[in-house]
Amino acid sequence: MSAPGHNLFPAAARPPERASEKPRRATAAAARGFTLVEIMIVVAIMGIVMTMSMPMVYKLWHKAPMIKAVRDVTEVLSRARAQAIMQNSMADVVFHPRERTMQVSAGSAPSRKPASEYDDLGAVAMGPPPPPHSGMGATLDSSISIEMLDVNLTEYKDADVVRARFYPNGTCDELTIILHSDKGEWYKIALEITTGLATVGPIDQ
């Protein structure tokens, strides 16, 4: 028999440590989570990133009305052109400059239409406003003003209503629109009369 307190398994004779115990120890160490220093470093980095991005977010936010106005106008013009070509009939974009609104409507009425359906400009009277986000109409933000609205080389920015016409062969009336925002932004939208396509660009003041 061995003496009391004598180790029955000397160090050299102890069974080797099982391989599964090492991953278990690593998992237990990871479960302790992040240290306070690590968390503070992450928070500091996030603060720096947010501080650097604020000017960009500010500029994008304050340019949104002009960007939306340009997008809405070009979409309405594009829809009118597509309608004229696809339906093989004239289509108008009806502008109300003082109200900063526009809407796609049918062009000149065929002879079978009753006179009551004509408006003062010899075209089909406008129907109800199109559904929101349909692309068939738009209302500009109150911060956007129409500084020029030329149709066939005539200024109409102070008129109650004016029409720009698109034709089935893809051509259109001459149209030039200049928009100005209360942030000092200027944009020009013009139609190419031979293709009916819009060109857009900022104006340096």
The answer to whether 198 and 172 are in contact (CB under 8 A) is: no
In a domain, 32, yes or no: no
Whether residue 11 is contained in a domain is answered as: no
pLDDT at 22: 55
- Amino acid 12: pLDDT: 52
**Is 82 domain-assigned?**
yes
Residue 108: predicted pLDDT: 52
Per-10-residue mean pLDDT of the chain, 205 residues long, equals: 52 54 54 76 85 65 82 96 95 95 75 41 51 79 96 95 96 97 95 96 85
Could you tell me the CATH number of the domain that includes residue 155?
3.55.40.10
Residue 154 lies in a domain: yes
Q: Are 105 and 128 in contact (CB under 8 A)?
A: no
pTM (two decimals): 0.63
Range of the domain at 131: 43-202
- Specify the pLDDT at position 48: 84
Q: Let me know if residue 15 belongs to a domain.
A: no
Query: Count of H helices and E strands in the chain?
Result: 2, 9
Residue 6 lies in a domain: no
Cβ atoms of residues 81 and 196 within 8 Å: yes
Q: Which of 152, 171, 158 is nearest to 95 (CA)?
A: 158
Q: Which residue has the tokens 């990871």?
A: 30
Contact present, 189 and 177 (Cβ < 8 Å): yes
Residue 144 lies inside a defined structural domain of this protein: yes
Half-sphere exposure of 153 (CA within 13 A, CB side): 1
Tally of domains in the chain:
1
- What is the pLDDT, as a whole number, of residue 43? 87
Q: What is the DSSP letter of 172?
A: B
C-alpha dihedral (188, 155, 122, 126), degrees to nearest 10 = 50
Is residue 99 situated within a structural domain?
yes
Rounded to an integer, what distance in angstroms lies between the CA atom of residue 80 and that of residue 167? 9
CB under 8 A, 24+ apart: contacts of 54-60: none
